Amino acid sequence: MSSSTPVENLVEQDEEMLKRALLHPSSLLRAPQHLGMKVLDREAFTRRIPTVAVYIKDKRNIQRIRKAAGSVFLLDPLDRTVIDPKRLYGDEGKQTYIIPLLPSVNVDDESSMPADLAQLVKEGKVELVPKEGILTYADFGSEEILKSILPRDRYDGIHRGFTLTGHIAHLNIHGEFTNYKEVIAQVIMDKNPTVETVVSKIEDVGSHSEFRTFPMEILAGKSDTQVSLRSSGCHYEFDFAKVYWNSRLENEHDRIANLCAKGDAVCDVMAGVGPFAIPAARHNRALVWANDLNGDSYESMVRNVEKNRVSSLVYPFNTDGREFIRLSSKALLRDGGKTIAFDPNPPNAPRDPAINSKLKPIETYTIPKVFKRFIMNLPASAVEFLDAYIGLYAGLEPLFQDPSKSLATPGQEGKYPLPIIHVYTFNRHNLKDIDEAAKEICQVVSGYLDYPMRVERTDNLKDLYAQTMQAKTKENNSKKATISGGAENAPSAPGKVTSEEYFPEGGISVGYVRAVAPVKSMYCVSFRLPWEVAFRTPPKQLSEMEKKLEQMKSIWLKSDETAQWPGKLKQ
């Protein structure tokens, strides 16, 4: 080796590494190995790199130099482009035209370089100088760093495997990786500028966690679990340690919210902090009765409803879901027909149209007597609440469309369709075996309704949603072209169903939402409440709690013309 190669200048780096560097030069640019590092030492990732620098005297020659020296450029091992001189040589790389070459180039030996490059040197167009480059912790990505620390053969992409909730990254760390949890958390925080806190589950959320929250430990960053985030075009604030939130459900929240139409009455039985209810009201003007048993979720939902300015459309409650199904349905039967007013203008906007050309008219909605749909997202146990629908409308048959008759049959017009129920559940089968999952789920649903349901269709809901959105955009575009003004405030026509929502009596649709674990997937089961179940007599006996709540009906609604939904009723 000639004394002019830069390699020998690097006293810190061992022989083995240098040999490897000459054979596989790009290995020089990888993060140094620190297998087993448990406390993050950022300095230890500083790497001194032997290179030869090409100083370019006139930038007009760059193309020629590229052609001449391309085969000995020092390439980034990840994307195979020339390593950025600014990264490698700091300020000098920023200020000078300089390109790093492989350390195998010997500036004193023409035979170690391409002939065209030697020619350029002779012509004085470039100067080759042995030069040390430096890469630091900041230059390596999280994957690169973690791969160099964690047991290599079991490295499983942990740097990507976190979910982001506002400023909090939530990691699931298993097995031997738990020994490295702090170092992993620190790297994730360093490499993701929006992450300010990294948390990990202490125990499995399991069925013992009634409110689907989990005990968490803070692994890195500030110990503040109060988050503020945007999802489905709405704003949410909540304490991540006290309530349920899953950013991965945004698509599903959007999908259901988009099934809701203007003036529809919707009952969100386990509403959390409002991610179905608020977008359904904000974007689609549904009237949503939203309930959660967790007092903290309820409090956050109330604040989120106010923040998103949908207080006249979303009515938060804090009681048990089973009772809520029956009680809210009864309250609606009694109070449907009243009107509510919604002001779509920002609170501070001038209300005088002479000053404010953007002033929108106050919207009014007539409260339907019957919910269009129920949403039950508590996958671990929501199916067990289905018996609450048995006999829900016993004795009220004349109000409803008879599913055995066509809508055109005299006497059917103006009647309500029975509600659609969306109930979430888990099943051991994944998307590949969705038919098996659907069969098992159907059996369970039939059991709780005490009525033989059958599988009508299965879907991958992500795909279905994407298709629906495409169709909607098309429809909106053609509407824009043909409609000028129109029935802005008209509730969706009773009985109008989209093809996705064609539910023949007793038919369930089973939709795959996402995998939550290797043998656990989340599904959404949708069906129209069967006639026989809705009107079965004798209806279910009222529980003591239900009776108690029944007596409180009078304070739920004032009986004047414009209903003032209480919104803040807390048991």
Do residues 140 and 45 touch, judged by C-beta distance below 8 A? yes
- Using CB under 6 A, which of the segments 107-115, 266-274, 395-403, 491-499 binds ligand SAM? 266-274
The residues with which 100 forms a beta bridge, in sequence order, are 53
Least Å distance between CB 252 and ligand SAM?
8
The β-bridge relationship of strands 373-376 and 420-427 is: parallel
Residue 425 in contact with ligand SAM, rule: CB under 6 A: no
Supply the minimum distance, in Å, between the C-beta of residue 413 and ligand SAM.
35
Least Cβ distance, residue 429 to ligand SAM (angstroms): 20
Query: Which residues partner with 423 through β-bridges?
Result: 376, 525
User: Measured from the CB atom, is 378 or 449 closer to ligand SAM?
Assistant: 378
Piece in contact with ligand SAM (CB under 6 A), picked from 206-214, 218-226, 471-479, 533-541: 206-214
In the bound state with ligand SAM, the residue whose beta carbon lies nearer, of 220 and 513, is 513
- Would you say 461 and 512 are in contact if contact means Cβ atoms under 8 Å apart? yes
Task: Candidates 320, 459, 500, 546: give the one binding ligand SAM (CB under 6 A).
Answer: 320
By the 10 Å C-beta count (0-12 exposed, 13-18 middle, 19+ buried), 405 is classed as: exposed
268: annotated binding-site residue?
A: no
Residue among 210, 217, 397, 435 that touches ligand SAM (CB under 6 A): 210
Q: Which of 211, 236, 371, 565 forms a contact with ligand SAM (CB under 6 A)? A: 211
51 binds ligand SAM (CB under 6 A): no
**What span, in angstroms and rounded, lies between the C-alpha atoms of 61 and 541?**
89
Given a contact cutoff of 8 angstroms between Cβ atoms, the answer to whether 506 and 452 are in contact is: yes
- Sole binder of ligand SAM in the list 302, 378, 421, 513 (CB under 6 A): 378
Residue 442 CA: distances (Å) to CA of 366, 455, 506, 522, 534: 35, 6, 10, 14, 18
**Cα separations (Å) of 66 from 19, 71, 93, 119?**
27, 9, 17, 13
Cα 35 from Cα 20, distance rounded (Å): 18
User: Residue with the closest Cβ to ligand SAM?
Assistant: 272
Q: Cα separations (Å) of 159 from 147, 191, 259?
A: 9, 9, 36
431, burial (CB in 10 Å: exposed 0-12, middle 13-18, buried 19+): middle
Q: Show the site string, 155-174: x = touches ligand SAM by CB under 6 A, - = not.
A: --------------------
Q: 377 labelled as ligand-binding?
A: yes
Q: Among residues 182 and 237, whose Cβ is nearest to ligand SAM?
A: 237
Instruction: Show the 3-state SS of 150-218.
Output: CCHHHCCCCCCCEEEECCEEEECCCHHHHHHHHHHHHHHHHHCCCCCEEEEECCCCCCCCCCCCCCEEE
Closest distance between ligand SAM and the C-beta of residue 249, in Å? 5
Q: How many CB atoms lie under 10 A from the CB of residue 514?
A: 16
Taking CB under 6 A as the binding criterion, the range among 171-179, 208-216, 307-315, 518-526 that sits at the site for ligand SAM is 208-216
* Nearer Cβ to ligand SAM (50/275): 275
Considering only residues 140, 180, 238, 276, which one is a binding residue for ligand SAM as defined by CB under 6 A? 276
387 is in an annotated binding site: no
CB of 311 to ligand SAM, least distance (A): 19
Q: Which of 271, 287, 388, 557 binds ligand SAM (CB under 6 A)?
A: 271
The four Cα atoms 450, 253, 476, 483 give a dihedral, to 10 degrees, of 70
Q: Tell me, rounded to whole angstroms, the distance of Cα 392 from its chain centroid.
A: 34
Of 200, 294, 304, 312, the one binding ligand SAM (CB under 6 A) is 294
To ligand SAM, the closest distance from the beta carbon of 450 in angstroms equals: 21
Nearest in space to 450 (alpha carbons), one of 529, 555, 345: 529
Angle between helix 295-307 and helix 277-284 axes, rounded to 10 deg? 20
Selected range binding ligand SAM among 115-123, 143-151, 207-215, 463-471, rule: CB under 6 A: 207-215
b (16+ CB within 10 A) / e for 450-475: ebebebbebbebbebbeebeeeeeee
DSSP 319: S
Peptide bond just before 114 cis, omega within 30 deg = no
| Of the residues 292, 299, 500, 546, which one makes contact with ligand SAM according to CB under 6 A | 292
Rg value, the chain, Cα: 32
Is the four-CA dihedral 54, 57, 63, 64 of positive or negative sign? negative
The reply on whether position 376 binds ligand SAM by CB under 6 A is no
Residue 254 sits in the site that holds ligand SAM (CB under 6 A): no
Beta carbon of residue 269, minimum distance to ligand SAM (angstroms, whole number): 6
Task: Give dist(CA 46, CA 28) in Å, integer.
Answer: 12
Report if residue 315 touches ligand SAM, rule: CB under 6 A: no
Q: Provide, rounded to whole angstroms, the least separation between the CB of residue 491 and ligand SAM.
A: 24
Half-sphere exposure for 53 (CA within 13 Å, toward CB) = 20
| 78 Rama class: left (phi>0) / alpha (psi -120 to 50) / beta | alpha
User: Which residue stretch of 10-18, 130-138, 288-296, 356-364 sits at the interface with ligand SAM (rule: CB under 6 A)?
Assistant: 288-296
- Contact between 49 and ligand SAM by CB under 6 A: the answer reads no
Using CB under 6 A as the binding rule, whether residue 299 contacts ligand SAM is answered as: no
- 253 in a known ligand binding site: yes
List 51, 106, 186, 297, residue binding ligand SAM (CB under 6 A): 297
Q: C-beta of 490: minimal distance to ligand SAM in Å?
A: 28
- Work out whether 393 is an interface residue with ligand SAM (CB under 6 A): no
Does residue 289 interact with ligand SAM by CB under 6 A? Answer: no
Stretch that binds ligand SAM, among 101-109, 125-133, 152-160, 287-295 (CB under 6 A): 287-295
Site for ligand SAM (CB under 6 A): which residue of 25, 93, 133, 321?
A: 321
Nearer to ligand SAM among residue 125 and residue 422 (C-beta):
422
DSSP 377: -
Contact positions toward ligand SAM, by CB under 6 A?
A: 210-212, 244, 249, 270-272, 275-276, 291-294, 297, 320-321, 377-378
- Residue positions forming the annotated binding site: 253, 292-293, 320-321, 377
- Which parts are annotated binding residues for S-adenosyl-L-methionine? 253, 292-293, 320-321, 377
